[in-house]
Structure 1
Amino acid sequence: MGAPADAAGLLERVRFGEDGLVPAIVQDATDGRVLTLAWMNRESLARTLERRETWFWSRSRQELWHKGATSGNTQAVRSVALDCDGDAIVVRVDQTGVACHTGEPTCFHVPLDDAPGDEPFAAVADLERTVAERAAAADPGASYTARLLAKGIDTVCKKVGEEATEVVIAAKGRERGQVVYESADLLYHLAVLWSAAGVRFEEVAAELASRRRPG
């Protein structure tokens, strides 16, 4: 089966290099982080567009490879965009597990300067993924997260209220370090609440973005 008609049109616009390859930047659709840089030939790009999961060309093995086929760390494709010169691609994905073979969330985890690392929201997105993995565990008692979710949304809501109170108490006591600590607890329990309520972090981020005002 070939790529859909609209995909075939995109393929004709891609300027593959002399080696038949084009660089593909893979970006997390939720938090915007760059996950990896890989290479695609015409066939792997066609499969990516058709099957909505990333396929690449391995320059070392000289063969097609389906991301996550052995590790389970698959990438569900949200969108594929071509740059203005037609010689590079950005693929926005929903990442399952980690992107890097080292076990890191992204392949770009080695700092070359003293600038801060991940964007702050990236940690929240990682937290959401962790909560989802714990929630999906076969044993509902395997983790605190799973046990909390098993008790129902009323219990989860109560915990969020308790953690919010802890933040307020720490702030009123001018305990800066404790505010940071309790805020992290609150964000964790809020992520559990999102899971229980069927809310995605990206929905919350989109709502925040919609409230931006110029100036």
Structure 2
Amino acid sequence: MKINFNKNGDGLVPAIIQDALTKNVLMLGYMNQEAYNKTVETKNVTFFSRTKKRLWTKGEESGNILSVVDINNDCDNDALLIKVTPAGPTCHTGTDTCWKEDNKQSYGFLSDLEEIIKNRKENQNDENSYVASLFRKGMNKIAQKVGEEAVEVVIEAKDDNEELFLNESADLLFHYLILLQAKGYTLDNIVSVLKKRH
């Protein structure tokens, strides 16, 4: 890999550390050639400390090492993206990331939707909420809705109306997320099963 350590005149390049699984950015550090070489050799992220003026392997004192999964450089060859598996919190303050964010798996909008459904489950007295009304009606009604939506997806899959197929597919996914919450599960649980099968 070609890395330009001398572009800024200090022999350092920024190294962005990203969780290989969650894709969350955990921290930013700096590497010189020696730190990079040690990282590649040991498979544990090693930085050059600008304050201590020496190499330091992340987790050398805490045990919260960052095991390297993959290293890529950017288009200008003067920054690194290092995908890792963290062994515990990354930040020296004890948080998952140096931005005080939880390093949890996110599925973007689907995670937001899961949170809304969870809130409706916890607040079933909302008379204006369709989701809350399903939770009030109980498991049988929720399971029935998933079955109905699944049948409608199958019917639309046999036709050529893309809009209807996509709308019915969205309805199925939405009601399935409700069913998962009703059973006490989330997408994370399903992803775990799929990963084991993979």
- Name the TM tier (shorter chain): 0.5 to 0.7
CA distance in 1, matches of 2:183, 2:46: 37
Deviation string 1:8-66 (CA, Å, 9 cap, x unpaired) is xx2xx211131110000000000100000000010000011111110000001111001
Which has the higher Rg, Structure 1 or Structure 2?
Answer: 2
Aligned residue in 2 for 1:212: none
Provide closer, same or farther for how the CA distance between residues 15 and 184 of structure 1 changes in structure 2, counting only shifts above 3 A.
farther
For 1:56 and 1:188, locate their aligned partners in 2 and report how far apart those are by CA, in whole Å.
35
Q: How does 1:95-110 map to 2 (within 5 A)?
A: 95-109=86-100
Which residue number corresponds to residue 80 of structure 1? 71
Give 1:173's aligned residue.
136
The one-letter code sitting in structure 1 at the alignment partner of 2:4 is R
TM-score, length-scaled by structure 2: 0.56
In 2 relative to 1, CA 183–31 (structure 1 residues): closer, same or farther, beyond 3 Å? farther
For the pair 1:19 / 2:18, whether they are aligned, the reply is no
Aligned counterparts of 1:21 and 1:15: Cα–Cα separation in 2: 9
Corresponding residue of 1:43: 34
Partner of 1:108, secondary structure, is coil
Q: Classify 1:189/1:63 alpha carbon distance in 2 versus 1 (closer, same or farther; 3 Å).
A: closer
How many angstroms does 1:172 deviate by?
Answer: 3.6
Q: C-alpha offsets along residues 59-112 of structure 1, whole Å, 9 cap, x if unaligned?
A: 011110011111011111000001110100000000110111111111123xxx
Secondary structure in structure 1 of the residue aligned to 2:82: strand
Offset, 1:190: 3.7
Aligned-pair distance for 1:185? 4.3
Structure 1 stretches of at least 4 aligned residues deviating more than 6 Å after TM superposition: 117-120
Unaligned segments of structure 1, at least 5 residues = 1-9, 110-116, 124-167, 208-215
In structure 2, the gaps of 5 or more residues are 108-130, 139-177
What CA distance in whole angstroms lies between the structure 2 residues aligned with 1:184 and 1:56? Answer: 45
Question: What is the rounded CA distance, in whole Å, between the counterparts of 1:121 and 1:21 in structure 2?
Answer: 31
Determine what percentage of the aligned residue pairs are the same residue.
35
2:54 is aligned to 63
2:135/2:182 contact within 8 Å kept? no
TM, length-normalised to structure 1: 0.52
**1:110-129 alignment, distance < 5 Å:** 121-122=105-106
Distance 2:96 2:60 in 1: 17
